[in-house]
Amino acid sequence: MPNCKLCVLVAVLALAGCTEVPAPQSTDPFAGMQWIDLTHAYDAETIFWPTGKPFEHVQTSWGEAEGGYFYSAYDFAVSEHAGTHLDAPIHFSAGGATIDNIPLDNLIGPAVVIDVVAQAAADRDYLASVEDLSKYEAEYGPITADDVVLIRTGWSARWPNTLEYMGDDRPGRADELHFPGIAPELAEVLAQRGVKAVGIDTASIDYGASKDFQTHQILMGAGVTGLENLVGLDALPARGSWVVALPMKIGAGSGAPARIAALVRR
């Protein structure tokens, strides 16, 4: 059925002697935008925390079913903290929210992308600092409580080489890891700002050599969600994109695999 309001508008314009009819506006709320996937696939190459469980994907059915149609199914198992995933506040805060209790509003918001690629290339134990934040804000403006802060180190280019990505590939050993992270001092500032979430394209918001995970403690103690093992941050502007970070809704989960994406203007 034609749009009645549009038909009336065309008739009125015709009677008024107007020959140009305005084109109907797009109903697509994402017109002129594109989605950027910030998620590594879960497969046999998925990198996981050395003390956690690797991704397992077991085929249980494949082929023609008795009814004559094709059917396939799999079982899977994995640590909460493997691959691209969310850390819920309860991961490092006894009173923090579990995965299933994180408000959706805290998982969606404007992205702030702080680039420390050059620093990380020169030092694989580099800690994104308050100085990096200050330089960013001097150019792009202040970070607010509505923001999702993403630290881009360039480390995702090393995926899925565990040795290159983690600094050590010995199963069960997490005492000699080396990769960039976020300085506790910067975590303090971000917690004070009340940002929604903090993410990074490495295996942890704490750097690999950390022994006490201060950055986790600070952010999650303030109720801030962590996003880890991101990819594709090079496709995002420093400002202007929106992040959607939706985890598997695991009841009482301390973390969960997630599909994380960003909406960017074309």
Q: What is the pLDDT of residue 29?
A: 84
| pLDDT tops 80 at residue 25 | no
Q: How many CA atoms lie within 13 A of 89 on its CB side?
A: 21
Q: What are phi and psi of 68, to 5 degrees?
A: 90, 5
24 domain residue, yes or no: no
Residue written as tokens 């330089």? Answer: 135
Strand ranges, E, within 68-204: 70-77, 85-87, 108-115, 127-128, 148-152, 181-182, 197-200
86 domain residue, yes or no: yes
Q: What percent of the chain has pLDDT over 70?
A: 90
Give SS3 for 80.
Answer: coil
- Cα gap 221→192, rounded to integer Å: 11
Q: Name the band, by pLDDT with cuts 50, 70 and 90, for residue 9.
A: very low
| pLDDT tops 90 at residue 48 | yes
For residue 91, indicate whether it is catalytic: yes
2 domain residue, yes or no: no
- Between 221 and 7, the more confident residue is 221
Q: Name the band, by pLDDT with cuts 50, 70 and 90, for residue 28.
A: confident
- Cα gap 220→48, rounded to integer Å: 21
226 domain residue, yes or no: yes
- Cα gap 149→132, rounded to integer Å: 12
Q: Per residue in 59-113, pLDDT tens?
A: 999 999 999 999 999 999 999 999 999 999 999 999 999 999 999 999 999 999 9
Q: What is the mean pLDDT of residues 40-57?
A: 96
Task: Report the number of distinct structural domains present in the chain.
Answer: 1
- Between 9 and 249, the more confident residue is 249
218 domain residue, yes or no: yes
Whose CA is closest to 55, among 130, 135, 162?
162
Q: What is the pLDDT of residue 5?
A: 53
212 domain residue, yes or no: yes
- Going from the C-alpha of 123 to that of each of 69, 126, 182, 254, 266, the distances in angstroms are 55, 5, 13, 30, 34
57, 91, 178, 216: which one is catalytic?
91
Residue written as tokens 């038909």? Answer: 7
The radius of gyration of the chain's CA atoms, rounded to the nearest angstrom, is 23
- The whole-model pTM stands at 0.89
Q: What is the pLDDT of residue 12?
A: 42
| pLDDT tops 60 at residue 221 | yes
CATH number where 168 lies = 3.50.30.50
Residue 46's domain comprises 34-52+80-265
Q: What percent of the chain has pLDDT over 90?
A: 88
23 domain residue, yes or no: no
Q: What is the mean pLDDT of residues 235-243?
A: 98
Residue type at 144?
T
Residue written as tokens 């008739």? Answer: 11
12 domain residue, yes or no: no
Residue type at 225?
T
Q: Name the band, by pLDDT with cuts 50, 70 and 90, for residue 125.
A: very high
Q: Per residue in 148-184, pLDDT tens?
A: 999 999 999 999 999 999 999 998 999 999 999 999 9
Q: What is the pLDDT of residue 252?
A: 98
- Cα gap 78→68, rounded to integer Å: 33
| pLDDT tops 50 at residue 233 | yes
